[in-house]
Amino acid sequence: MKLLEIELSGETAADVLKKHHAAPHTVYRVARMDAAAADTTTGRNVRTAHATVARALGCNVDTVRRARRVLRDLGFSVEVVRGRYMTTEEREAATREHGSRQRRFASTRCLTIPARCRAMHPYPCGVNSSGHSTSRRVPSTRWRAAGTSKDQPKSTPLTRRTPPLGVQKITARLVQRMPWLDRGRSGHLMGLSRGLVACGVTEEWTTQDLMNAVEADHQGLGLLSLPPDSQKNPRALLLHQIKRAITGKEPPARARRAAEDARRVARAAEIAQRAAEAKTKTAMPTWFRAELAKAQEASSATRSTC
């Protein structure tokens, strides 16, 4: 929160605050409410609605909305799942469980720290850099027996690649359609995105294409779709099903693009053919046009007399 307070007093935040017509102290209060609702270790799973925060702070809903837009533009908050209206079954279940008339699911947000702030303040939580040397591993029994107590080489930490933005959007849509993917200890959406990349999912796939591929694979093998609550790790099962369904297959988007290109080429050829026929068409003779006009006048006169 100290980083946000420093950022709100800078020149970068001044333009953003002016754009959204928000006050710095209001943005700070909303950020504290989001921090209280987030996971204490990761800053994820902020699911409080604008109206809930507005009632707690005693302000307007639009004020909270503008403050969260400021946090989004400054890079301190990311919306991973867009809120949506509940179905009839979900509203009935909420009424039975909470006794309230809930109509919508609030958006899911994650609290983050911008890269520029991490570069300026490498230890934002007040953690000081350790000045002592790195810890050493205890020599094994075999080394101690041989009298050679040398240090084991430390392994270099692996750097994880960030999944493409298109795959992250596919992940968000999957979670929106299947909220159980973001529950429990396995609620890290970036891990799910990396799992989709490992299964061979690219930005050319869509959420509906993946679901259609899994359903076609189940029908071909005669499998039944089991409820997620009956599985120990339903996310791993879904990734396995997606990998088996799309392995060796091209994304349907390629076939759609090829069909669209074929229709475009056929349409261009048809237009070119009509233009060529129009150039070669013989003009109507003058005497024939005059006779045609006389015939039309005689026909109209006959209709008028009748």
Structural domain span for residue 207: 165-246
Task: For residue 150, give Cα distances in angstroms to 90, 99, 129, 133, 273.
Answer: 62, 65, 26, 16, 83
70 neighbors 27 (Cβ within 8 angstroms): yes
Looking at 120, 139, 154, the residue that finishes a domain is 120
The percent of the chain in helix, strand and coil, each rounded to the nearest 5, is 60, 5, 35
Q: Does residue 212 sit within a domain?
A: yes
Cα separation, 195 vs 241, whole angstroms: 12
Q: Where are the beta strands (DSSP E) in the chain?
A: 77-81, 84-85, 104-105, 108-111
Q: What is the pLDDT of residue 6?
A: 79
Cα separation, 192 vs 181, whole angstroms: 9
Q: Does residue 30 sit within a domain?
A: yes
Whether the full predicted model's pTM is greater than 0.75, yes or no, is no
pLDDT tens across the length of the chain (306 residues): 777 877 888 777 888 888 998 988 899 999 888 888 888 777 788 888 888 899 898 999 899 999 999 988 888 888 887 777 778 777 777 777 766 677 777 788 888 877 766 555 444 444 444 444 444 455 555 545 555 545 555 555 555 678 888 888 999 888 888 888 876 544 567 888 888 999 999 999 999 999 999 988 888 888 777 677 777 788 888 899 999 999 999 999 999 999 999 999 999 999 999 888 888 877 778 888 888 888 988 888 887 776
Are 84 and 178 contained in the same domain? no
Are 115 and 40 contained in the same domain? yes
Q: Does residue 302 sit within a domain?
A: no
Q: Does residue 239 sit within a domain?
A: yes
Q: Does residue 197 sit within a domain?
A: yes
Q: Does residue 134 sit within a domain?
A: no
Looking at 66, 98, 120, the residue that finishes a domain is 120
Q: Does residue 294 sit within a domain?
A: no
Q: What is the pLDDT of residue 151?
A: 53
Q: What is the pLDDT of residue 160?
A: 66
Are 114 and 6 contained in the same domain? yes
Q: Does residue 44 sit within a domain?
A: yes
Are 91 and 175 contained in the same domain? no
Which is it for strands 77-81 and 108-111: parallel, antiparallel or unpaired?
antiparallel
Looking at 62, 97, 120, the residue that finishes a domain is 120
Task: Report the CATH number at residue 114.
Answer: 1.10.10
Our count of domains for the chain comes to: 2
Q: What is the pLDDT of residue 48?
A: 87
